[in-house]
């Protein structure tokens, strides 16, 4: 399936798999607590044939010098070869870095986590939140699936017991205290192919794209982050159109999250 064929379908308001241009694949499912023994929070997201898991690990460490009373969030992504034969083992490549960065921006710019409440002792001890994204099957649209899995895993996370006198964590003792979440940003990625716009692309459509815009939307409908991809520039009018599409489609994804 080549780029010209994909583009010709889009110009006719058609897609290879029969969907409408602005239709997500089915099913869209979220499973919580899939790795309760090895992570403080975890979730699996399925969008069509795309499957992504996310895990949250909590630790205690030193804050950054410029934010002595704020906890720390670190987001990483590992593109496993089992999910796509084009992925290779080893250090994160540019695709993994971009995936992690796009998800990180949505969470960070929305102030989704109350980092002040992650402070144990200002300037010395804070909670460190490690959020890792793992595609299990890459059938396209890892950005939206990964972002949804990330928020679901953060919602699922509970603090382990921390002994302040001994300054040690007992991971065998789970508390019922959740992470202090203030928001739940949802991301939607809109692709431009020729003069058409689509959501939830399959891999062949991603390879045929001219431009891509990932939009992160907060619970109250505000835009908190934008990330543009692709080699072709987009006009202000096209950006407005892509944002309008993303704003509507994130409402659908948010219903699944709730």
Domains and CATH numbers, the chain: 3-257 (3.30.230.70)
Burial zone of 177 (CB within 10 Å; 0-12 exposed, 13-18 middle, 19+ buried): exposed
The helix (H) or strand (E) run that includes residue 125 is strand 125-137
C-alpha 89: how far from chain center = 21
**pLDDT at 91 > cutoff 80:** no
82 φ, ψ to 5°? -65, -20
- pLDDT tens-digit map of 189-203: 999 999 999 999 999
What is the three-class DSSP state of 179?
coil
Task: Report pLDDT for 90.
Answer: 79
Task: Report pLDDT for 209.
Answer: 96
- pLDDT tens-digit map of 230-254: 999 999 999 999 999 999 999 999 9
pTM over 0.85: yes
**pLDDT at 169 > cutoff 70:** yes
**Residue 162's CB: how many other CB atoms inside 10 A?**
17
Binned at pLDDT 50, 70 and 90, residue 1 comes out as low
- CA distance readout (Å), 62 to 70, 71, 138, 231, 257: 10, 9, 36, 40, 32
Query: DSSP for 181-231?
Result: B----EEEEEEEETTEEEES--HHHHHT-SEEEEEEE-TTS-EEEEEEESS
- What average pLDDT does the chain have? 95
Question: CA nearest 36: which of 184, 172, 180?
Answer: 172
**Residue 228's CB: how many other CB atoms inside 10 A?**
12
Burial zone of 255 (CB within 10 Å; 0-12 exposed, 13-18 middle, 19+ buried): exposed
Query: DSSP for 17-50?
Result: TS--TT---S-EEEEE-TTTTT-SEEEEEEETTE
- pLDDT tens-digit map of 50-64: 999 999 999 999 999
Written as six digits, the tokens of 199 are 């959501």
Q: How far apart are the C-alpha atoms of 137 and 117, rounded to whole Å?
A: 35
What is the three-class DSSP state of 74?
strand
């Amino acid at each position: 399936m080549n780029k010209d064929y994909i583009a010709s379908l889009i110009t006719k308001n058609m897609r290879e798999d029969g969907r409408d241009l602005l239709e997500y694949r089915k099913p869209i499912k979220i499973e919580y607590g899939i790795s309760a023994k090895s992570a403080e929070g975890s979730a699996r997201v399925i969008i069509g044939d795309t499957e992504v898991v996310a895990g949250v690990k909590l630790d205690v460490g030193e804050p950054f010098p410029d934010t002595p009373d704020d906890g720390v969030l670190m987001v990483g992504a590992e593109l496993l070869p089992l999910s796509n034969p084009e992925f290779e083992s080893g250090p994160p490549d540019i695709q993994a870095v971009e995936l992690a960065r796009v998800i990180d921006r949505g969470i960070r710019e929305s102030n989704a986590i109350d980092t002040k409440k992650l402070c144990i002792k200002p300037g010395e001890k804070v909670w460190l939140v490690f959020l890792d994204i793992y595609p299990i099957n890459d059938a396209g649209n890892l950005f939206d699936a990964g972002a949804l899995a990330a928020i679901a895993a953060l919602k699922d996370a509970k603090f382990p017991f921390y002994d302040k006198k001994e300054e040690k964590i007992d991971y065998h003792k789970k508390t019922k205290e959740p992470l202090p979440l203030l928001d739940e940003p949802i991301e939607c990625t809109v692709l431009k192919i020729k003069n058409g716009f689509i959501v939830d692309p399959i891999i062949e459509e991603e390879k045929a794209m001219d431009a891509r815009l990932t939009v992160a939307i907060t619970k109250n409908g505000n835009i908190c982050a934008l990330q543009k991809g692709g080699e072709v520039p987009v006009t202000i009018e096209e950006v407005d159109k892509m944002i309008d599409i993303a704003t509507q489609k994130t409402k659908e994804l948010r219903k699944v999250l709730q």
